Structure 1
Amino acid sequence: MVDTDERALAGGDADARPARGPLRRRLGLLDQHDFRQLYLADTISQLGAQVTLLALPLVAVLALHATTFEVGALTACETAAFLFVGLPAGAWVDRMRRRNVLIAGDLGRAVLLGSIPIAWWLHWLTVEQLFVVALLAGVCTVFFDVAYQSYLPHLVGRENLIEGNAKLESVRAVNQIGGPAVAGLIVQAFTAPFAIAVNGLSYLGSALFVTRIRRRESRPERKPDAHLGREIMEGLRFVLGNRMLRSIAACTGSSNLFSAIGAAMLVLLLARILGLPPWQIGLFSSVPAIGGLLGAFTATRIARWLGQGPAIWIAPLVSAPFALLMPMAQRGILLWLAAIGNGIWWYGVVVYNVAQVSFRQGLCPERLLGRMNATMRFLVWGTMPVGGLLGGLLGETLGVRPAMWIGAIGGLFCFLPVFLSPLRWMRELPTHEPDPVPEGAPAA
């Protein structure tokens, strides 16, 4: 659109255990040192990511004069890794310490993105290099995201997942407000490759904060008969064998498909058809994120008011029609009405994500968290490169606005899988209960 049962850490000390009971302090989870480091790392990383999200296609459009199809293909490359390595990444992450995976993912993206301004300065930059960097950085993102969602329950405990996800979604929303505006100003003042260099530095900062997390995971035990293929299939069976998870995958995957069609054409609409300067494109891209911020602040309350199950389908049902304003954007009032409509749509996306991700993390056993998250990412993000390519093809053959209309209209029906599932009326969703400790085993 946006995981270990660590309630018992055998042999751990008091500081190594997640928070229990109601949160009594005003800051909530931010009062915990380890969650605060993850929060700060995510803040810096998300800011840089928002800068690149706008700057990378602007490099293609303004510096390299890429075609409509090339811009769509570049959008596809950014998420293609979820399709190619998404499933094995989950099995690999379940074999490793997740904190180490987060650090490696940040460092890898810093190096890859740093190559773009260097090549541009040496006059070697090509569209093909952008494709390669987008693909490889996407691989790093696959591992980072799978580890990140699987690491959160270890830090905060399953009982605090909704609050933890809501706080991290608020970081994403704030950066979506400020990031594009900052990117537009940097591109306007210094050029798009310089803006990408800023993002490379942000990933280094993110890695630094992750290294400050004190709590250490024990290395996952690997069974003698462990087999990558069987482990991948176990994650697939867990997701596809659960009707509620299947419906969430269908809803999110179809939504990502249609939104990727429109997203692939958005920069072309703003930069070429409407002729907006980079700073105004950045401002336009920031306005909708206000809706995401409001969604992050109110998601917990809405889930409590509607019920967690109904919130999962009502949010996309109500918000999706406002995305129809995007293909109608013109200079003047229609431009900012489109931005506001996109903000309402994004509000629904964040409410939906907080509710469904928290449900997934709470339902899944600890040993399957990496594979469950990787399987879901494969199913729901794997549609995005397809959408990016479709957007490029449709834009090349039918035009930019018709392609955006197809994406916006298709998004109206994405709520149906969760609406037609048991989630429809379930105010309280099931969670995984930890396996009982065998008699005679050491207490946590």
Structure 2
Amino acid sequence: MTVSTLSATSLWRDRRFRTFWSAQGVSEFGDRITELALPLIAVTMLNASPSQVGFLTAAVWLPNLASLFIGTWVDHRRDKRPLMIAADLSRTVLLLSLPAAYWLDLLTLGQLYVIAILAGTAHVMFNTAYASFFVALVDRDQFLEANSKLSATRSISFMGGPALGGLLVQWLTAPVAIVVDALTFTFSALQISRIKMIPAASDQTAEPLLRRARAGMRYLLRHPYLRRSLACSTTVNFFNLISTALLVLFASRELELSAGTIGIAFGIGAAGGLLGAVSASPLSRIFGVGPLIAAGAVVFPGAIAIAAFADGPTWVKATALAAAEFVGAFAVMCFDIPNNSLQAAVTHDYMRSRVSGAYSTINYGIRPLGAVVGGLLGTWIGVRATLLVSAAGGLLAVLWLVGSPNIRTRELDGLEPPEF
């Protein structure tokens, strides 16, 4: 039986989806370890300042500025799987260089910046290829279910990954803990290589890359759904990265929490993401896809204020950190899952990787700026005050959805890419 004849609840029985799901789940789990270990290397081993930590976070997201061109190049390749495999293997090698430098006593902030940029470039290539890979893997009526399952796994990784990462950092040191993430990318590459499928449609025009890239950006900015989604997501990402760049530093230095406690607080808080992932689909049916996206756009950025007000005994501060993570993680799933599904439904097949790249160039490309602004503000007005600026500014994102077709969308059935 082919995927196209399976029911919407049959992804549990779809071997190809399960294979990719396992690759994604293991890789996401490893990512959570590195997301905690990398800034801890900078803060605890290299004595980085708030601005330097901000620059490190910016370096991770800097390659997204090239997403448009990477996505345009990817769109010209019919089979996206080899690109995804190459991206995974590249990240394996890059991450393994960190413990090697540590053992040779050569570890520096400069190396962290270089690895962050190169690994981020591989991440961009993987994601732009994934946009087309996803619609070839599952049918339209399975978009919400597939995104919910993948997001649920990501949420579970946020529950267990930081806790495990914190313990590994304490027991083995942060550079050694990163070895675990490197191995997860190897597993992901092996699993994706096992998936046999008919590739989605590709861009077969003979136009130069730059012209095709411009066409992708023009398509995105003229699209009645995508341009509003882009403006909202970009605003959320800018203000979210202001706080994300400093959150580990804030928890370590100002709240005076240990690496293990920080990891456990993040892990407990991430349960909100799992709850949001399993709730997003039924909530979309109850309240509508668009209204749920709007609600998530308000609650997600505002949740960091809970952590910013944390004070008192250690257990109170750890609880506030976990609560901020819980509320934010729940809300971001209610934003991302219906938003990603809506985007998949209204984008033409031949433009997917190009549009994904153009979208990421702006949406994720703003993240380095947010991280740098966060680092500079943290040095200027203090880390706690900067978190409150992040929370207040993020609330503006929902204004982009007012009057848009996005917020009026109740369900995805029958929704087709518009002609414009």
The question of a shared fold, defined as TM-score above 0.5 by the shorter chain, is answered with: yes
Specify the alignment match of 2:358 in structure 1: 375
SS in 2 for 1:226: coil
| CA-CA distance at 1:23 after TM superposition | 3.3
Structure 2 counterpart of 1:417, from 400, 406, 414: 400
| CA-CA distance at 1:342 after TM superposition | 2.8
Structure 2 counterpart of 1:56, from 10, 34, 38: 38
Deviation by residue 1:268-293 (Cα, 9 ceiling, x = unmatched): 11112222211111111112211111
1:23 aligns with 2:8: yes
1:119 aligns with 2:101: yes
Specify the alignment match of 2:323 in structure 1: 340
Please tell me whether the aligned partners of residues 20 and 157 of structure 1 are also in contact (alpha carbons under 8 angstroms): no
Q: TM-score, normalised by structure 1?
A: 0.90
Specify the alignment match of 1:191 in structure 2: 173
Structure 2 counterpart of 1:103, from 70, 85, 88: 85
Return the letter of the residue paired with 1:292: G
1:323 aligns with 2:308: no
1:72 aligns with 2:78: no
Please tell me whether the aligned partners of residues 113 and 196 of structure 1 are also in contact (alpha carbons under 8 angstroms): yes
Equivalent residues in 2 for 1:35-46, closer than 5 Å = 35-46=17-28
Please tell me whether the aligned partners of residues 291 and 346 of structure 1 are also in contact (alpha carbons under 8 angstroms): yes
Return the letter of the residue paired with 1:315: G
Please tell me whether the aligned partners of residues 59 and 117 of structure 2 are also in contact (alpha carbons under 8 angstroms): yes
SS in 2 for 1:332: helix
Q: Which moved more, 1:134-143 or 1:318-327?
A: 318-327
Deviation by residue 1:35-94 (Cα, 9 ceiling, x = unmatched): 1111000011101111000000011111111122111100000111001x1110111111
Please tell me whether the aligned partners of residues 284 and 336 of structure 1 are also in contact (alpha carbons under 8 angstroms): yes
Specify the alignment match of 2:147 in structure 1: 165
Specify the alignment match of 1:355 in structure 2: 338
Specify the alignment match of 1:278 in structure 2: 259
Specify the alignment match of 2:415 in structure 1: 431
Q: State the identity %.
A: 35
Specify the alignment match of 2:384 in structure 1: 401
Deviation by residue 1:332-390 (Cα, 9 ceiling, x = unmatched): 32431342133112211111111011111111111101011111111211111101101
Task: Report the Cα distance in structure 2 between the residues aligned to 1:115 and 1:349, rounded to whole angstroms.
Answer: 33
Equivalent residues in 2 for 1:258-277, closer than 5 Å = 258-277=239-258
Count of residues in Structure 1 that have an aligned counterpart in Structure 2: 415
SS in 1 for 2:5: coil
Task: Report the Cα distance in structure 1 between the residues aligned to 2:184 and 2:407, rounded to whole angstroms.
Answer: 41
Task: Report the Cα distance in structure 2 between the residues aligned to 1:218 and 1:150, rounded to whole angstroms.
Answer: 6
Specify the alignment match of 2:269 in structure 1: 288
Q: 1:382 to 1:363 in 2, by over 3 A?
A: same
Q: 1:306 to 1:335 in 2, by over 3 A?
A: same
| CA-CA distance at 1:218 after TM superposition | 7.4
Q: TM-score, normalised by structure 2?
A: 0.95
Deviation by residue 1:188-219 (Cα, 9 ceiling, x = unmatched): 10000011111111100111111110224278
Task: Report the Cα distance in structure 2 between the residues aligned to 1:403 and 1:382, rounded to whole angstroms.
Answer: 21
Please tell me whether the aligned partners of residues 203 and 350 of structure 2 are also in contact (alpha carbons under 8 angstroms): no
Higher share in helix: 2
The unaligned stretches of length 5 or more in structure 2 are: none
Specify the alignment match of 1:128 in structure 2: 110
Task: Report the Cα distance in structure 2 between the residues aligned to 1:144 and 1:410, rounded to whole angstroms.
Answer: 30
Task: Report the Cα distance in structure 2 between the residues aligned to 1:156 and 1:75, rounded to whole angstroms.
Answer: 33
Task: Report the Cα distance in structure 1 between the residues aligned to 2:218 and 2:30, rounded to whole angstroms.
Answer: 36
| CA-CA distance at 1:314 after TM superposition | 2.1
Please tell me whether the aligned partners of residues 309 and 427 of structure 1 are also in contact (alpha carbons under 8 angstroms): yes
Task: Report the Cα distance in structure 1 between the residues aligned to 2:164 and 2:369, rounded to whole angstroms.
Answer: 29
Task: Report the Cα distance in structure 2 between the residues aligned to 1:242 and 1:219, rounded to whole angstroms.
Answer: 20
Q: 1:311 to 1:201 in 2, by over 3 A?
A: same
| CA-CA distance at 1:227 after TM superposition | 1.3
Q: Which moved more, 1:324-333 or 1:120-129?
A: 324-333
Task: Report the Cα distance in structure 1 between the residues aligned to 2:130 and 2:174, rounded to whole angstroms.
Answer: 29
> Which portions of structure 1, spanning 4 or more consecutive aligned residues, are displaced by more than 6 angstroms?
none
Q: 1:321 to 1:125 in 2, by over 3 A?
A: closer
